[in-house]
Amino acid sequence: MFTGIIEEIGLVVSMQERHDLPLWNGERGKGVELVVHVQVALEGAYVGCSIAVNGTCLTATSISDEHVAFGVSPETLRRTNLSALQPGDKVNIERSMGTGSRNSGHFVQGHVDGTGAILSFTRENDSLWVKIAATPELLRGIVPKGYIAIDGTSLTVCEVNRVHGYFSIMLVAYTQNHITLPLKKVGERVNLEPDVLGKYAARSMSGLTTRVDALESQLQRTNWSLKGVAVLTTLLLIAWLRK
Protein backbone atom coordinates (compact mmCIF):
# COMPACT_ATOMS: atom_id res chain seq x y z
CA MET A 1 0.00 0.00 0.00
CA PHE A 2 1.19 3.52 -0.82
CA THR A 3 0.15 7.11 -0.05
CA GLY A 4 0.56 8.82 -3.41
CA ILE A 5 3.12 11.25 -1.94
CA ILE A 6 6.11 10.94 -4.28
CA GLU A 7 9.41 10.59 -2.42
CA GLU A 8 11.78 11.18 -5.31
CA ILE A 9 12.12 11.22 -9.08
CA GLY A 10 14.14 8.26 -10.29
CA LEU A 11 16.04 7.88 -13.55
CA VAL A 12 15.54 4.87 -15.83
CA VAL A 13 18.85 3.09 -16.41
CA SER A 14 17.52 0.30 -18.61
CA MET A 15 14.29 -1.37 -19.69
CA GLN A 16 15.07 -4.54 -21.57
CA GLU A 17 14.06 -8.10 -22.29
CA ARG A 18 16.30 -10.70 -20.71
CA HIS A 19 16.56 -14.43 -21.36
CA ASP A 20 18.48 -15.42 -18.23
CA LEU A 21 16.01 -14.63 -15.46
CA PRO A 22 15.85 -17.34 -12.75
CA LEU A 23 12.56 -19.25 -12.57
CA TRP A 24 10.96 -21.06 -9.65
CA ASN A 25 12.02 -24.49 -10.97
CA GLY A 26 15.70 -23.60 -11.29
CA GLU A 27 15.56 -22.97 -15.02
CA ARG A 28 16.20 -19.69 -16.83
CA GLY A 29 13.47 -17.84 -18.66
CA LYS A 30 12.56 -14.75 -20.66
CA GLY A 31 11.21 -11.60 -19.06
CA VAL A 32 11.45 -7.82 -18.90
CA GLU A 33 13.67 -6.12 -16.33
CA LEU A 34 13.50 -2.46 -15.36
CA VAL A 35 16.50 -0.85 -13.64
CA VAL A 36 16.09 2.56 -11.99
CA HIS A 37 18.64 4.90 -10.41
CA VAL A 38 17.30 6.00 -7.01
CA GLN A 39 18.59 7.51 -3.77
CA VAL A 40 15.85 7.97 -1.16
CA ALA A 41 14.20 4.65 -2.01
CA LEU A 42 17.39 2.76 -1.13
CA GLU A 43 16.88 3.48 2.56
CA GLY A 44 15.25 0.42 4.07
CA ALA A 45 14.95 -1.28 0.69
CA TYR A 46 15.53 -5.03 0.41
CA VAL A 47 15.13 -7.70 -2.23
CA GLY A 48 11.44 -8.58 -2.33
CA CYS A 49 10.18 -5.20 -1.08
CA SER A 50 7.51 -3.24 -2.93
CA ILE A 51 8.30 0.10 -4.57
CA ALA A 52 5.89 2.11 -6.72
CA VAL A 53 7.34 3.21 -10.06
CA ASN A 54 4.98 5.65 -11.79
CA GLY A 55 2.31 4.35 -9.46
CA THR A 56 2.89 0.71 -10.38
CA CYS A 57 3.65 -1.60 -7.48
CA LEU A 58 6.81 -3.52 -8.42
CA THR A 59 8.93 -6.02 -6.53
CA ALA A 60 12.63 -5.29 -6.13
CA THR A 61 14.64 -8.22 -7.54
CA SER A 62 18.13 -6.82 -6.92
CA ILE A 63 19.62 -3.77 -5.21
CA SER A 64 23.00 -2.08 -5.62
CA ASP A 65 24.51 1.13 -4.24
CA GLU A 66 22.48 3.33 -6.60
CA HIS A 67 20.15 1.07 -8.58
CA VAL A 68 17.09 -1.08 -8.00
CA ALA A 69 16.00 -3.72 -10.51
CA PHE A 70 12.42 -4.90 -10.97
CA GLY A 71 10.80 -7.70 -12.91
CA VAL A 72 7.89 -6.44 -15.04
CA SER A 73 5.14 -8.90 -15.95
CA PRO A 74 3.33 -8.98 -19.33
CA GLU A 75 0.08 -7.88 -17.62
CA THR A 76 1.85 -4.87 -16.10
CA LEU A 77 3.25 -3.93 -19.50
CA ARG A 78 -0.25 -4.12 -21.00
CA ARG A 79 -1.93 -2.09 -18.26
CA THR A 80 0.62 0.66 -17.65
CA ASN A 81 2.89 3.12 -19.43
CA LEU A 82 6.03 1.29 -18.31
CA SER A 83 6.46 -0.40 -21.70
CA ALA A 84 7.26 3.01 -23.22
CA LEU A 85 10.11 3.78 -20.81
CA GLN A 86 13.54 4.53 -22.25
CA PRO A 87 16.94 5.02 -20.55
CA GLY A 88 17.09 8.54 -19.15
CA ASP A 89 13.33 8.85 -18.57
CA LYS A 90 12.23 10.22 -15.21
CA VAL A 91 9.80 8.23 -13.06
CA ASN A 92 7.93 8.86 -9.82
CA ILE A 93 9.19 6.74 -6.93
CA GLU A 94 7.54 5.89 -3.61
CA ARG A 95 8.34 3.20 -1.07
CA SER A 96 5.46 1.25 0.46
CA MET A 97 4.04 2.86 3.58
CA GLY A 98 5.02 1.50 6.97
CA THR A 99 2.73 0.55 9.82
CA GLY A 100 1.71 3.66 11.74
CA SER A 101 2.94 6.01 9.02
CA ARG A 102 1.08 9.26 8.39
CA ASN A 103 -0.86 9.31 5.14
CA SER A 104 -0.88 12.78 3.61
CA GLY A 105 -2.37 11.49 0.36
CA HIS A 106 -4.81 8.59 0.10
CA PHE A 107 -4.65 4.80 0.01
CA VAL A 108 -2.98 3.90 -3.28
CA GLN A 109 -2.73 0.20 -4.05
CA GLY A 110 -0.27 0.46 -6.90
CA HIS A 111 -2.64 -1.60 -9.05
CA VAL A 112 -2.96 0.55 -12.16
CA ASP A 113 -6.35 0.22 -13.86
CA GLY A 114 -5.29 1.68 -17.20
CA THR A 115 -3.74 4.70 -18.86
CA GLY A 116 -5.02 8.07 -20.01
CA ALA A 117 -3.70 10.55 -22.57
CA ILE A 118 -2.77 14.12 -21.63
CA LEU A 119 -5.03 16.52 -23.55
CA SER A 120 -3.77 19.90 -22.35
CA PHE A 121 -1.83 21.97 -19.82
CA THR A 122 -3.28 25.36 -18.83
CA ARG A 123 -1.76 27.87 -16.41
CA GLU A 124 -3.82 29.70 -13.79
CA ASN A 125 -1.55 31.91 -11.68
CA ASP A 126 1.12 29.58 -10.28
CA SER A 127 -1.11 26.51 -10.57
CA LEU A 128 -1.41 24.17 -13.53
CA TRP A 129 -4.60 22.67 -14.96
CA VAL A 130 -4.12 19.25 -16.55
CA LYS A 131 -6.84 17.66 -18.68
CA ILE A 132 -6.61 13.90 -19.25
CA ALA A 133 -8.65 11.65 -21.55
CA ALA A 134 -9.85 8.35 -20.10
CA THR A 135 -12.03 5.46 -21.18
CA PRO A 136 -15.71 5.32 -20.07
CA GLU A 137 -14.82 2.35 -17.87
CA LEU A 138 -12.19 4.35 -15.98
CA LEU A 139 -14.36 7.47 -15.80
CA ARG A 140 -17.07 5.49 -13.99
CA GLY A 141 -14.76 5.25 -10.98
CA ILE A 142 -13.63 8.90 -11.08
CA VAL A 143 -15.71 11.44 -9.18
CA PRO A 144 -15.34 15.23 -8.74
CA LYS A 145 -13.45 16.10 -5.54
CA GLY A 146 -12.49 12.46 -5.17
CA TYR A 147 -8.97 11.06 -5.22
CA ILE A 148 -7.04 9.64 -8.16
CA ALA A 149 -3.44 8.46 -8.49
CA ILE A 150 -1.80 9.73 -11.70
CA ASP A 151 1.58 8.05 -12.25
CA GLY A 152 1.37 7.31 -8.53
CA THR A 153 0.71 10.90 -7.41
CA SER A 154 -2.26 11.42 -5.09
CA LEU A 155 -4.38 14.18 -6.64
CA THR A 156 -7.86 15.64 -6.29
CA VAL A 157 -10.23 15.44 -9.25
CA CYS A 158 -11.60 18.88 -10.13
CA GLU A 159 -13.89 18.06 -13.06
CA VAL A 160 -15.26 14.97 -14.80
CA ASN A 161 -16.76 15.26 -18.28
CA ARG A 162 -18.24 11.89 -19.21
CA VAL A 163 -19.75 13.22 -22.45
CA HIS A 164 -16.38 14.23 -23.91
CA GLY A 165 -14.41 11.56 -22.06
CA TYR A 166 -11.98 13.45 -19.87
CA PHE A 167 -11.29 14.68 -16.34
CA SER A 168 -9.21 17.58 -14.99
CA ILE A 169 -6.90 18.09 -12.03
CA MET A 170 -4.94 21.11 -10.79
CA LEU A 171 -1.34 21.07 -9.57
CA VAL A 172 -0.09 23.59 -7.03
CA ALA A 173 3.42 24.98 -7.50
CA TYR A 174 5.06 22.66 -4.95
CA THR A 175 3.63 19.53 -6.53
CA GLN A 176 4.69 20.69 -10.01
CA ASN A 177 8.31 20.71 -8.84
CA HIS A 178 8.28 17.25 -7.25
CA ILE A 179 6.57 14.96 -9.79
CA THR A 180 7.03 14.07 -13.46
CA LEU A 181 3.60 15.08 -14.80
CA PRO A 182 4.50 18.71 -15.75
CA LEU A 183 7.53 17.35 -17.64
CA LYS A 184 5.39 15.30 -19.99
CA LYS A 185 4.00 16.39 -23.35
CA VAL A 186 0.44 16.54 -24.66
CA GLY A 187 -0.44 13.10 -26.00
CA GLU A 188 1.76 11.17 -23.59
CA ARG A 189 0.09 8.49 -21.51
CA VAL A 190 -0.09 8.41 -17.72
CA ASN A 191 -1.01 5.61 -15.34
CA LEU A 192 -4.41 5.96 -13.71
CA GLU A 193 -5.66 4.39 -10.49
CA PRO A 194 -9.01 5.83 -9.35
CA ASP A 195 -9.65 5.83 -5.61
CA VAL A 196 -10.46 2.30 -4.47
CA LEU A 197 -13.69 3.47 -2.79
CA GLY A 198 -14.85 5.07 -6.04
CA LYS A 199 -14.02 1.91 -7.98
CA TYR A 200 -15.96 -0.34 -5.62
CA ALA A 201 -18.90 2.06 -5.60
CA ALA A 202 -18.90 2.09 -9.41
CA ARG A 203 -18.87 -1.70 -9.51
CA SER A 204 -21.74 -1.89 -7.01
CA MET A 205 -23.75 0.61 -9.02
CA SER A 206 -22.97 -1.30 -12.21
CA GLY A 207 -24.41 -4.46 -10.69
CA LEU A 208 -27.44 -2.56 -9.41
CA THR A 209 -27.99 -0.98 -12.83
CA THR A 210 -27.89 -4.42 -14.45
CA ARG A 211 -30.53 -5.74 -12.03
CA VAL A 212 -32.71 -2.66 -12.51
CA ASP A 213 -32.48 -3.02 -16.30
CA ALA A 214 -33.46 -6.68 -16.03
CA LEU A 215 -36.43 -5.81 -13.80
CA GLU A 216 -37.51 -3.03 -16.15
CA SER A 217 -37.32 -5.42 -19.10
CA GLN A 218 -39.41 -7.98 -17.22
CA LEU A 219 -42.00 -5.33 -16.36
CA GLN A 220 -42.13 -4.24 -19.98
CA ARG A 221 -42.75 -7.83 -21.08
CA THR A 222 -45.42 -8.20 -18.40
CA ASN A 223 -47.00 -4.94 -19.51
CA TRP A 224 -47.18 -6.16 -23.09
CA SER A 225 -48.68 -9.45 -21.90
CA LEU A 226 -51.37 -7.56 -19.97
CA LYS A 227 -52.05 -5.42 -23.02
CA GLY A 228 -52.46 -8.59 -25.09
CA VAL A 229 -54.92 -10.03 -22.58
CA ALA A 230 -56.85 -6.75 -22.58
CA VAL A 231 -57.07 -6.70 -26.39
CA LEU A 232 -58.18 -10.34 -26.51
CA THR A 233 -60.79 -9.73 -23.81
CA THR A 234 -62.12 -6.71 -25.73
CA LEU A 235 -62.41 -8.71 -28.95
CA LEU A 236 -64.23 -11.54 -27.19
CA LEU A 237 -66.60 -9.05 -25.56
CA ILE A 238 -67.37 -7.44 -28.94
CA ALA A 239 -67.99 -10.87 -30.48
CA TRP A 240 -70.32 -11.84 -27.62
CA LEU A 241 -72.29 -8.56 -27.90
CA ARG A 242 -72.83 -9.13 -31.61
CA LYS A 243 -74.57 -12.43 -30.99
CB 181 within 8 Å of CB 148? no
* Phi and psi at residue 82, to the nearest 5°: -65, -30
239: DSSP letter: H
Average pLDDT of the residues in 210-236: 63
Looking at the predicted structure, is the pLDDT value of residue 212 above 90?
no
Q: What is the pLDDT of residues 98-144, one digit of tens each?
A: 766 777 778 899 999 999 999 999 999 999 999 999 999 999 999 99
CATH architecture of the domain 114-197 equals: Beta Barrel (2.40)
Task: Lowest mean pLDDT of 28-32, 166-170, 177-181, 217-221, name the range.
Answer: 217-221
What is the rounded CA–CA span in Å between residue 171 and residue 190? 15
pLDDT of residue 21: 86
Residue extents of the structural domains in the chain: 8-95, 114-197, 198-236
Four-way CATH pick for 8-95: 3.40.462.10, 3.20.20.60, 2.40.30.20, 2.60.40.420: 2.40.30.20
